[in-house]
Amino acid sequence: MKVAIAQLNYTIGDFEGNSNKIIQQINSAKSDDADLVIFSELSITGYYPHDLLEKKEFILKAESAISEIAKSCVGIAAVVGAPRINESERGKQLFNSAFFLTDGKIKSIQNKTLLPTYDIFDEYRHFEPNRDFSVVEYRGEKIAITICEDLWDELPTANEFGKDKLYRVSPMEELSKFNPDFVVNISASPFSYNQEGWRKNVLINKAKNYNIPIFYVNQIGAQTELIFDGGSVFIDKNGEIIKELKYFEEDNLLVDTLNIGDKQLQNKVETTGKIHDALVLGIRDYFRKMGFKKATLGLSGGIDSAVTVVLAVRALGAENVRVLLMPSKYSSDHSIEDARVLAENLKIKYEIVNIQSAVDKFETELAPLFEGTSPDVTEENIQARTRGIYVMAISNKFGHILLNTTNKSECAVGYGTLYGDMNGGIAVLGDVYKMEVFRLSRFINKDGEVIPENSIVKPPSAELRPDQKDTDSLPEYKDLDEILFNYIELNKSPKEIAALGFDEAEVRRVIRMVNMNEYKRFQMAPVLRISSKAFGFGRKMPLVAKY
Amino acid sequence: MKVAIAQLNYTIGDFEGNSNKIIQQINSAKSDDADLVIFSELSITGYYPHDLLEKKEFILKAESAISEIAKSCVGIAAVVGAPRINESERGKQLFNSAFFLTDGKIKSIQNKTLLPTYDIFDEYRHFEPNRDFSVVEYRGEKIAITICEDLWDELPTANEFGKDKLYRVSPMEELSKFNPDFVVNISASPFSYNQEGWRKNVLINKAKNYNIPIFYVNQIGAQTELIFDGGSVFIDKNGEIIKELKYFEEDNLLVDTLNIGDKQLQNKVETTGKIHDALVLGIRDYFRKMGFKKATLGLSGGIDSAVTVVLAVRALGAENVRVLLMPSKYSSDHSIEDARVLAENLKIKYEIVNIQSAVDKFETELAPLFEGTSPDVTEENIQARTRGIYVMAISNKFGHILLNTTNKSECAVGYGTLYGDMNGGIAVLGDVYKMEVFRLSRFINKDGEVIPENSIVKPPSAELRPDQKDTDSLPEYKDLDEILFNYIELNKSPKEIAALGFDEAEVRRVIRMVNMNEYKRFQMAPVLRISSKAFGFGRKMPLVAKY
């Protein structure tokens, strides 16, 4: 059987656009004599539509899109993903389904059994789990259709509870009773740099254990925070990856199950390179899918804004990026110079606005109210917020979307000013720890200096008071990042983290900062997710709590 | 059997504080000769701890709290709620459990069966559903213990799918097989003004249908957005409410099942009065549980800030509220005067800062960058953001938490400036439609003018340009609110809403504004929830989407 894998980039709720893409692929697969073409999970709606699924109109639109697509499936079959109404009088309103289309109509439907409801996943909010299993018979083959998590019947994230099965049912165990010839897995599996190998291993083990080939079809493209990386694979019954599709790009491939041919794998890319590609795609899709073209941000001469602006230029083009340099009396000459060199290296439009006169005006006006008080974080915040006003003014006046440059380390400990440097439509580095930001800067400079060396090597500083350094109030980033990773990604307790070789009081101080700053993150822009635990809706902490 | 209902206010994660409260109630019930005292759902941890439940340390602390409380249960029994580890090798890591404590130890445990995972509820994220049913035998009675949703096996929210059973299991049906003498329902049921009657009806119907008395024990107190209203009841087997505890206050009551006595119900309160009490509690608990005392906000002379400041004074005391009046050249004389009179009526500290000179400074500095452009929303936003800087400066300098005054109607259509008037630690009116804000102002003035009449009757305006009125860009609030309610609370389609008597193009324009402004709400403060569908984590919409 000739099976086409279609790894596409969908837009949530864009039924027309998504359907057109799908139909085009069906037609092209047909002209390649394919028997079957496979699309990914919820391909009709995009993943994940969240509470749009509660609107009946939305579901009915998905239904008509399916009927429309079915009409193209003559002389070929397709598997597409969409929500559908649960007709039973009991249970959730919907199923998350795989539609098998052929002969111009829906031949069969398989619903998703295992509904991930953890981290960024929220499927039991909307979907009823499947309880009936069967295979599709088509052109003499028996096909077992599964949807993403259905093959993941093991615990997917770090946990301290020593549990290894998150679900009570194993769809593969049920489906294997029908002796299928191969497995189709339609997926929506987002990128996370620290879980990549794990995903492939799950698939390889399933193929091996059940001695069955697997077509794993992922999607690519960013949906606000989530970045889907593609990398769809065909795995033979020995658990070997024979074909592998591109990462962070649309791609498609035809596999003849009777004549598999040579291995076709992607070149290995180092983690930092993948994070780079993920973030570029994250920015590009955020703008493209929102209908925006142009971005702005403040360049401070520091490394975070430097890396962010390079990623923005790579995602949107130099002609669409425009920056502000906003020195104050605390800015070092070097900072302005570094920012200017970077802007010139990138050939982007830059302008300089000195914030000092506005800051002075605020301080003058506030003087009578502040009588008898000493300067503190208030005055630092006024600077950051004044910059926020200037850069938002550019954003409003010229329609440039503001990119937030906060990194994950400072975001974690609340080292940033709400309504100031925490402003922005999307937080590009909000899931990237500071040490990884350094690695990204080296990666960016690998073929020649783009980011001035000085921005990389100078001690990080917010430059909000004389001679300020980040390390005045924070541990060295090398240590800070390790403490944070163990607390945030791995959910370790203070004692366990201290046992890795840190001072327990210091660990507790850092964790206290993380906990106390939930309120800032609550009001932050969506964060492009590259790890297994990003800030945002995948990490939901109570704001008002004692812990 | 003498049963005490303990309706308390818990703090999330405050194991010591919550346990002490519980133990005190057990001791006091014992001195009243009670046989049993009932606390509410997750009383040990507070509801809802969210992803703190993923930290093993947190669960172990709950375990030791339970052991400690059990020691007080000698000569008396108690039902308390807490998470516990699921010891099975399969399934989620935890159960949401009711512990029956007596003789100094845990006598039995009942796990929650129906795990609400919709709107603000997220329980399947952390908990495995119960599948085993039994009753507790204690002092000759058989007690069926249920946890909140367990009695709610019907669809709880408006839906367009015509479904009436959200779950496949009915715990009451299972438990009734054991012929229990009465039902205990430990609950964490938040206030929503448009679902109140529905909650009582569910309980009444269960009592009637199974011919069994029910002890329904709710909690009170606000947990960030969620406001639990109490109103615990004892319902006899005929489905009559015999005892009813207070709303929005801690309360307790002893019921002798053999000698029920007279009816004891709370006075009826009109909806607006309840919303008033809910919001006051919401503010008070936000501050108290965060360890804050003092609040600030900008008074504009308009009705939203007027109502907010009155609620703040009632929650925190006049001595803890301090406001800024921040006129610009577009502010009417009346606005300043109205704000001043209000502050004087409330006897709160107020100061005046004219924003014009700072705004002018921004405009001067931006003039070269803005050459050739015309004034637009940019200049309006600069005013709102300048106010944001001033009021945040007061907040930072003196430790006053900024209250956000945005109402639900403007929040819905994005009529507000991000990083400007959308600033604040908690959004007091973010779930209150404008028409309800008017009713609140009348309610506040019912015993004499607190809010100047002029603030109530003048046409609403943002005063960001000459002669601006809200109705320049929005429909009349009466119509706007009805369209919004049908779209947001009831999930109706544009066509269905138009059929209620609105122009379809106008309905679509309003809905488009709602959809386009998800990005603003994403960065907004938590919203005190009083309805069945508040903005925030109970309404999760994709930011990047076409719909």
Residue A487 has pLDDT above 90, yes or no: yes
What pLDDT score was predicted for residue B157? 56
The residues, ordered by sequence, that sit 6+ positions from A350 with a Cβ below 8 Å of its Cβ are A299, A322, A323, A324, A325, A339, A340, A343
Instruction: Give one word for B386, left, alpha or beta, with left for phi > 0 and alpha for psi -120 to 50.
Output: alpha
What pLDDT score was predicted for residue A314? 98
Record: contact B392-A419, CB cut-off 8 A: yes
Record: contact B545-A289, CB cut-off 8 A: yes
Q: What is the ipTM of this complex?
A: 0.95
Rounded mean pLDDT, A75-99:
95
* A245–chain B nearest CA distance, Å: 26
Q: What percent of chain B has pLDDT over 70?
A: 99
The DSSP code for A103 is T
CB of A117 less than 8 A from some CB of B? yes
Distances (CA, A) of A256 to A3, A12, A206, A213, A217: 6, 32, 21, 12, 16
Closest CB from A11, A289, A396 relative to B381: A396
Structure tokens at B184: 């205990």
CA distance B273 to B311: 12
Residue A471 has pLDDT above 90, yes or no: no
What pLDDT score was predicted for residue A58? 96
**Which pLDDT band holds residue B462 (cuts at 50, 70, 90)?**
confident
**Nearest residue in chain A measured CA to CA from B375:** A397
- Identify the CA nearest to B432 among candidates B531, B322, B325, B297: B531
Rounded mean pLDDT, A258-287:
96
Residue A120, CA atoms < 13 Å, CB-side half-sphere = 26
Closest CB from A358, A370, A542 relative to B224: A542
Record: contact B163-A86, CB cut-off 8 A: yes
Chain A contacts in chain B segment 213-232 (CB below 8 A): 222-224
* A505–chain B nearest CA distance, Å: 17
pLDDT digits (tens, 9 = 90+) for A212-247: 999 999 999 999 999 999 999 999 999 999 999 999
Chain A contacts in chain B segment 361-380 (CB below 8 A): 361-362, 365-366, 369-370, 373, 376-378
What pLDDT score was predicted for residue A446? 96
**Nearest residue in chain A measured CA to CA from B326:** A365
Type of residue found at A192: S
pLDDT digits (tens, 9 = 90+) for A32-57: 999 999 999 999 999 999 999 999 99
Residue B325: phi, psi to the nearest 5? -100, 125
Sign of the torsion formed by the C-alpha atoms of A471, A477, A479 and A483 = positive
CA distance B33 to B51: 39
Mean pLDDT of chain A: 95
Structure tokens at B27: 């001791």
Record: contact B357-A357, CB cut-off 8 A: no
SS3 A81: strand
Which residues face B404 on adjacent strands?
B427
Type of residue found at B346: L
How many CB atoms neighbour CB B251 within 10 A?
Answer: 18
Which of B21, B61, B112, B243 is catalytic? The answer is: B112
- Residues of chain B with Cβ-Cβ distance to A526 below 8 Å are 522, 543
Closest CB from B86, B396, B425 relative to A377: B396
Rounded mean pLDDT, A371-400:
97
Sign of the torsion formed by the C-alpha atoms of A62, A67, A71 and A77 = positive
**Nearest residue in chain A measured CA to CA from B425:** A519
pLDDT digits (tens, 9 = 90+) for A124-146: 999 999 999 999 999 999 999 99
* B339–chain A nearest CA distance, Å: 18
Element (H, E) at A96: strand A94-102
**Predicted model pTM:** 0.96
Closest CB from A93, A286, A540 relative to B161: A93
Sheet holding B141-147, edge to edge: B136-138, B141-147, B182-186, B214-217, B233-235, B241-244
Residue A373, CA atoms < 13 Å, CB-side half-sphere = 18
Type of residue found at A166: L
Structure tokens at B127: 């908990």
Strand B105-111 and strand B136-138: the pairing is unpaired
Least confident piece of the model among A179-188, B163-172, B319-328: B163-172
pLDDT digits (tens, 9 = 90+) for B136-179: 999 999 999 999 999 988 765 556 676 678 888 999 999 999 99
Record: contact A159-B54, CB cut-off 8 A: yes
Record: contact A165-B85, CB cut-off 8 A: no
Record: contact B353-A376, CB cut-off 8 A: no
**Which pLDDT band holds residue A155 (cuts at 50, 70, 90)?**
low
Record: contact A389-B289, CB cut-off 8 A: no
Which of A45, A54, A288 is the mutation pick for testing B, counting most B CBs within 10 A? A54
Residues of A recognised as catalytic: 41, 112, 148
Type of residue found at A534: A
Q: Which residue has the tokens 């709160």?
A: B348
Sheet holding A136-138, edge to edge: A136-138, A141-147, A182-186, A214-217, A233-235, A241-244
CA distance B254 to A90: 38
What pLDDT score was predicted for residue B108? 97
The DSSP code for B104 is T
Chain A contacts in chain B segment 435-454 (CB below 8 A): none
* B456–chain A nearest CA distance, Å: 30
SS3 B72: helix
Closest CB from B165, B376, B419 relative to A392: B419
**Nearest residue in chain A measured CA to CA from B364:** A358
Closest CB from B354, B393, B543 relative to A378: B393
Record: contact A397-B385, CB cut-off 8 A: no
Residue A157 has pLDDT above 60, yes or no: no
Closest CB from A164, A385, A541 relative to B50: A541
Record: contact B542-A52, CB cut-off 8 A: yes
The residues, ordered by sequence, that sit 6+ positions from B83 with a Cβ below 8 Å of its Cβ are B42, B45, B49, B53, B59, B62, B94, B95, B96, B97, B126, B127
SS3 A398: helix
Strand A36-38 and strand A2-7: the pairing is parallel
Strands (E), A279-400: 295-299, 321-325, 349-352
CB of B68 less than 8 A from some CB of A? no
Q: Domains in chain A, please, with CATH?
A: 2-268 (3.60.110.10), 274-463+517-522 (3.40.50.620)
Q: What percent of chain A has pLDDT over 90?
A: 91
What pLDDT score was predicted for residue B159? 65
Q: CA angle, A373 as apex, A371 and A379 as ends, to 5°?
A: 100
Chain B contacts in chain A segment 289-308 (CB below 8 A): 289-290
pLDDT digits (tens, 9 = 90+) for A294-337: 999 999 999 999 999 999 999 999 999 999 999 999 988 888 99
Q: Which residue has the tokens 């839906």?
A: B159
Distances (CA, A) of A471 to A331, A476, B403: 17, 6, 32
CB B233, CB B204: distance < 8 Å:
no
